[in-house]
């Protein structure tokens, strides 16, 4: 596929021929899928009672140092499949009762995913398509999905250049995440739901509070509310899980304090955020990370 021969799908702009080599995302042009199954741990309007039909793609264009899914981030696990097989997986998940098709870390495969969605819709796929991303996206690439994605589920990870560079080697993160979310909103508009409470159109922007970054997190929440009011949902997350590779880091080796998380929730409420999700209980556990054993692939 031409898009992969001089790849500039993500803001890294590697310009690498992925039909021959691997880009920053650590994968070539072949779809690498690590797991496809019903997933119960997304926001309630995504997972519902039946689960979200989640497809975990290998590789990642952002590569956060605190990532919980290192094996798939680095393209170390999974099976290489065709666009036709991916379309079949979508149909199989629908037949299992999935509320939607949830594409996790899909950026570096946008052209192939687009083809698979078209094939699947021709074969009877009717449930919503959820695009689950780090937020590190190019508007030009997102436009390839216009009319095909129903729900966007982007992260808004960083507010400042220094943190984005330190944690993801992406000092230009904020330069891309803002216009990316704006393009997502242009495509899908205000939230719409089925009678059972499952989202069929709209955006949920996730923000993961990191240890020591409460004030930056407040700026992100305020920007989102000032820009979109309650026309989007904001999911405020506390599930930072210190993995073995960050145990020597001064901040990332810690979990988020309950005090900081509650302070961020109170801040969001005080400025007027009504459409949102929070996490309750102990979420910073490795047990919430599914096995990437090619189930369903």
User: What tokens were used for 218?
Assistant: 């407040």
Question: Which residues in 9-128 belong to E strands, given as ranges?
Answer: 31-39, 52-57, 79-81, 101-104
How far apart CA 112 and CA 296 sit, in angstroms, is 19
Which letter, b or e, does each residue of 240-255 get, where b requires 16 or more Cβ atoms within 10 Å of its Cβ?
bbbbeebeeeebbeeb
Q: What is the pLDDT of residue 287?
A: 45
Q: What is the pLDDT of residue 202?
A: 98
Q: What is the pLDDT of residue 281?
A: 64
Give 34-54 pLDDT, tens digit per residue.
999 999 999 999 999 999 999
Q: What is the pLDDT of residue 288?
A: 59
Q: Which residues of the chain have pLDDT under 70?
A: 281-288
Give 264-276 pLDDT, tens digit per residue.
999 999 999 999 9
Specify the residue for token string 């796929």.
Answer: 125
Q: What is the pLDDT of residue 286?
A: 46
Q: What is the pLDDT of residue 282?
A: 59
Q: What is the pTM of this model?
A: 0.95
Give 156-202 pLDDT, tens digit per residue.
999 999 999 999 999 999 999 999 999 999 999 999 999 999 999 99
């Amino acid at each position: 596929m031409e898009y992969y021969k001089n790849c500039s799908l993500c803001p890294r702009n590697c310009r690498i021929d992925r039909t021959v080599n691997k880009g920053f995302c650590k994968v070539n042009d072949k779809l690498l899928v690590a797991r496809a199954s019903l997933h119960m741990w997304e926001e309630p309007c995504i997972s519902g009672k039946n689960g979200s039909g989640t497809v975990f793609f290998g590789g990642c264009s952002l590569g956060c140092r605190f990532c919980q899914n290192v094996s798939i981030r680095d393209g170390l696990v999974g099976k290489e499949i065709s666009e036709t097989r991916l379309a079949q997986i979508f149909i199989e998940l629908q037949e299992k009762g999935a509320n939607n098709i949830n594409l996790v870390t899909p950026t570096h495969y946008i052209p192939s995913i687009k083809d698979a969605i078209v094939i699947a819709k021709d074969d009877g796929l009717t449930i919503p398509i959820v695009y689950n991303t780090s937020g590190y996206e190019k508007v030009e690439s997102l436009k390839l999905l216009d009319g095909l994605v129903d729900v966007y589920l982007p992260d808004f990870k960083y507010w400042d250049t220094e943190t984005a560079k330190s944690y993801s080697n992406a000092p230009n993160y904020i330069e891309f995440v803002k216009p990316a979310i704006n393009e997502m909103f242009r495509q899908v508009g205000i939230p719409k739901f089925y009678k059972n409470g499952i989202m069929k159109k709209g955006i949920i922007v996730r923000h993961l509070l990191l240890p020591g970054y409460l004030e930056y997190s407040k700026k992100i929440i305020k920007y989102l509310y000032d820009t979109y009011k309650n026309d989007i949902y904001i999911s405020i997350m506390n599930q930072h899980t210190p993995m073995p590779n960050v145990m020597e880091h001064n901040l990332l080796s810690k979990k988020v304090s309950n005090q900081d998380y509650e302070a961020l929730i109170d801040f969001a409420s005080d400025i007027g955020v009504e459409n949102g999700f929070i996490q309750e209980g102990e979420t910073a556990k490795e047990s919430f990370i599914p096995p990437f054993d090619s189930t369903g692939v």
